[in-house]
Every structure is written in structure tokens, then in C-alpha cells.
């Protein structure tokens, strides 16, 4: 097995082999916890499914159903009402936090543990949004364009943030099997020059060759975010690829010889050489700085098992950032 955290030394199948047993137990435990939650909150449950909410309002924290308007209908994941949905977890936590602190100071604090980010302008309210869909021409993406889970633009920084929860990794390509294992990529993906430039010049991954595992496939979503951040950032803006993840998920926490996606991306995106900064935090870490009200804190704790270590405090809803 590889001894380095750098993604150039790994393939998707190797990561899968390291994580599969631990991840299977983890995913089963998560699903059972959501079964128990909806069994105890039958008024919120889909009558035909044991761990899905009846609608998006029921999936969100009490009194915060209005956040559903900020998740475009066309961009809602197929299983967004599942308790396991990272999309609704992000909307419920980051959406509340953005309403209560429009300056998003919590985001800078939460993602600056390893290395400080360029500061946010104190007099400016950042623009932010969920599932920010890119123009098809930006990265030559047809028929499906990249959507940024949580997008933030400030005068000096532009964030493209990927939000994960129970997922089995960062997100692979959808090229039909066995293509990803043999370098047989879909022609439309091969034509996306920004992807491959990012793969070779930013991630420093090995060249794609027929008969070998594709270097893009297993880190597909990370590459798309980095390519998007580079393309979207204006002059004077530092592009940042952010990752928020579950500290208990083996794919992110690490398992066996695999050190986890945060460690792998940090080792791959050299802060002294890469034009895109990488910053990460677990939901557990971020929760310590999120400005949640009592309803959102209870939702995070009871539904998702995310608990603040300090006392919960009520907060008044402030004027929202420019996406609200």
C-alpha cells in the first residue's frame, strides 16, 4: 500500500480497500440512528420511508423552514430528504449561521486552523449561496455543470466548499465502468481542458494512460471544485477549495494506510506552490464556532449527533448576507 498521503500515490480501488469494512459499519450505524430519530419524530417522517423526512421543511431545524427557498429545486439531490443527506445538513447549519452572522466570521475561523486565510473585509458582507451552478461554458461542461455546495465570494477571497457527511469519499466521476479503472474516459470529460490542467498542474497526478486507473476519476469532485475556484476568482481574490466533512467517516478520518481526504488534499495542494488554497474542517470542529440558535443546535444534536462542547446560546436572527 502507498506510504504517502499525496494523491499521486493512490488509486480509487486502493482507497476503497482500506476503508470498505470500517465504512460499512459506519454507514449502517448512521442509517440506524436516523431510523431511530424518525421513529421518535413521526410527525416529520415520510410515511413510506423509515429515515426520510416528509418534505424539506420537515428535514430542516424547527422554525427554519424558510431556508428551503435557498436550495434550488433543480439542484436538490435525489435523496435530499434522507437523514444521511449532506446537502440538507449543510443547508440547516450553514444557512442558519449565515442568517445569524452575515459577515460569515465563523467560516474564516472554522477553516483557518491549519493556516490563516486572507481576512474578510470588515465593511463588506460576503455573497454566498447553496448549489451555485456554473455556466456551461466556464469549464466546458455539458450536459451537467458543476454546482458548488456552498459558494462564498468576498473582496479578497472566493470559496468553493464541498460539504460531505455519510458519502463514501469525495465524489467520483460517472463514466461507465470499467472506464475509470482502465483510463477509458468519456469523450466529453476528455474535452474539459480545465479539468486536466488541474489534474496535472495543480494536483500533480500521473498522466492518464489506457489500461491504467484514471487519475481524475477518484478525485473528480475535488478537481471540479479547484477548477471552478480558479475560473471564478477575480483579480485580487484568493481562490480557496474548502472541505467540510464528518470526523467519524473513515474516508475522511482515515483508515488503515489511508490518512483520509483532508490529509490527502492538504498533502497534494501544496500551500507554497498551488494557486488555490485548501482548507478543511469537520462538522464537529465547525460546530464549535457556528452561531446557531437553540432550535438549530437541538436539531444538530438530536438528529445528527453533533453537539457543541459549550453551553448553547440563543441568537436573534440578523440581516442576512446578499443571497438571502
Interval 102-161: pLDDT, tens: 999 999 999 987 777 887 766 679 999 999 999 999 999 988 999 999 999 999 999 999
Residues with Cβ within 8 Å of residue 249, at least 6 apart in sequence? 23, 26, 164, 165, 166, 167
**Segment 177-185 mean pLDDT:** 88
Say if residue 312's pLDDT is above 80: no
Neighbouring-strand partners of residue 147: 133
- Joined together, the cell numbers standing for residue 276 give 488555490
Q: Please state the domain count of the chain.
A: 1
DSSP codes joined into one string, 37-48: HHHH-GGGB-TT
Q: Which of 15, 10, 4, 3 is nearest to 267 (CA)?
A: 4
Residue 324: pLDDT band with limits 50, 70, 90? low
What are the φ/ψ torsions at residue 33 (nearest 5 degrees)? Answer: -65, -35
Q: Does residue 322 lie within any of the structural domains?
A: no
Whole-number percent of the chain with pLDDT over 70: 94
Per the confidence metrics, is the pTM higher than 0.75?
yes
Q: Rounded distance, CA 176 to CA 185, Å?
A: 8
Half-sphere exposure of 132 (CA within 13 A, CB side): 21
Q: Does residue 317 lie within any of the structural domains?
A: no
Task: Please classify residue 170 by burial: count the beta carbons closer than 10 Å to its beta carbon, then call 0-12 exposed, 13-18 middle and 19+ buried.
Answer: buried
| Domain range for 240 | 7-116+125-304
Say if residue 68's pLDDT is above 90: yes
Q: Does residue 314 lie within any of the structural domains?
A: no
CA distances (Å), origin 6, targets 171, 212, 256, 258, 260: 17, 18, 15, 10, 11
Please identify which residue in the block is written with the cell numbers 465593511.
123
Residue 313: pLDDT band with limits 50, 70, 90? very low
Q: Does residue 68 lie within any of the structural domains?
A: yes
Q: Rounded distance, CA 252 to CA 174, Å?
A: 21
Please identify which residue in the block is written with the cell numbers 466546458.
140
Name the 3-class secondary structure at 49. Answer: coil
> Among 49-53, 81-85, 116-120, 319-323, which stretch is predicted with the lowest mean pLDDT?
319-323
Residue 295: pLDDT band with limits 50, 70, 90? very high
Q: Does residue 252 lie within any of the structural domains?
A: yes
Handedness of CA 73, 76, 82, 86 (dihedral sign): negative
Contact 247, 285 (CB under 8 A): yes
pLDDT at 25: 98
Q: Does residue 309 lie within any of the structural domains?
A: no
What are the φ/ψ torsions at residue 293 (nearest 5 degrees)? Answer: -85, 180
pLDDT digits (tens, 9 = 90+) for 74-90: 999 999 999 999 999 99
Q: Does residue 262 lie within any of the structural domains?
A: yes
Q: Does residue 315 lie within any of the structural domains?
A: no
Please identify which residue in the block is written with the cell numbers 469525495.
170
Whole-number percent of the chain with pLDDT over 90: 83
Q: Rounded distance, CA 197 to CA 226, Å?
A: 11
Say if residue 318's pLDDT is above 60: no
Residue 46: pLDDT band with limits 50, 70, 90? very high
Q: Which of 246, 257, 45 is nearest to 163 (CA)?
A: 246
Angle at 110 between CA 113 and CA 32, to 5 degrees: 110
What are the φ/ψ torsions at residue 158 (nearest 5 degrees)? Answer: -130, 120
Beta strand ranges found along the chain (DSSP E): 127-133, 147-153, 157-163, 238-245, 277-282
Amino acid at each position: 500500500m502507498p506510504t504517502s498521503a499525496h494523491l499521486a500515490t493512490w488509486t480509487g480501488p486502493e482507497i476503497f480497500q482500506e476503508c470498505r469494512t470500517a465504512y460499512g459499519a459506519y454507514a449502517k450505524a448512521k442509517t440506524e440512528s436516523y431510523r431511530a430519530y424518525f421513529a421518535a419524530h413521526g410527525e416529520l417522517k415520510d410515511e413510506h420511508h423509515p429515515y426520510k423526512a416528509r418534505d424539506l421543511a420537515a428535514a430542516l431545524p424547527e422554525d427554519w423552514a424558510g431556508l428551503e427557498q435557498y436550495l434550488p429545486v433543480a439542484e436538490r439531490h435525489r435523496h435530499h430528504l434522507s437523514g444521511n443527506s449532506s446537502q440538507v445538513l449543510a443547508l440547516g447549519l450553514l444557512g442558519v449561521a449565515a442568517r445569524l452572522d452575515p459577515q460569515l466570521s465563523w467560516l474564516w475561523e472554522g477553516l483557518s486552523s491549519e493556516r490563516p486565510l486572507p481576512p474578510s473585509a470588515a465593511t463588506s458582507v460576503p455573497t454566498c449561496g447553496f448549489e451555485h451552478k456554473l455556466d456551461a461554458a466556464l469549464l466546458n461542461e455539458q450536459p451537467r455543470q458543476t454546482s458548488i455546495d456552498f459558494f462564498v465570494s468576498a473582496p479578497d477571497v472566493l470559496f468553493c466548499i464541498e460539504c460531505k457527511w455519510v458519502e463514501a469519499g469525495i465524489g467520483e466521476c460517472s463514466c461507465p465502468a470499467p472506464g475509470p479503472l482502465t483510463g477509458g474516459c468519456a469523450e466529453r470529460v476528455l474535452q474539459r481542458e480545465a479539468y486536466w490542467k488541474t489534474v496535472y498542474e495543480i494536483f500533480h497526478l500521473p498522466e492518464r494512460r489506457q489500461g491504467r486507473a484514471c487519475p481524475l476519476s477518484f478525485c473528480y469532485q475535488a478537481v471540479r471544485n479547484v477548477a471552478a475556484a480558479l475560473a471564478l476568482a477575480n483579480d485580487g481574490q484568493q481562490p480557496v477549495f474548502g472541505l467540510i466533512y464528518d470526523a467519524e467517516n473513515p474516508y475522511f478520518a482515515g483508515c488503515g494506510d489511508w490518512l483520509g481526504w483532508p490529509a490527502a488534499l492538504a498533502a497534494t495542494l501544496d500551500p507554497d506552490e498551488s494557486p488555490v488554497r485548501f482548507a478543511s474542517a469537520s462538522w464537529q470542529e465547525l460546530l464549535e464556532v457556528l452561531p446557531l440558535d437553540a432550535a438549530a443546535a437541538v436539531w444538530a444534536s438530536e438528529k445528527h449527533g453533533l453537539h457543541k462542547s459549550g453551553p448553547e446560546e440563543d441568537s436573534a436572527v440578523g440581516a442576512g448576507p446578499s443571497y438571502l
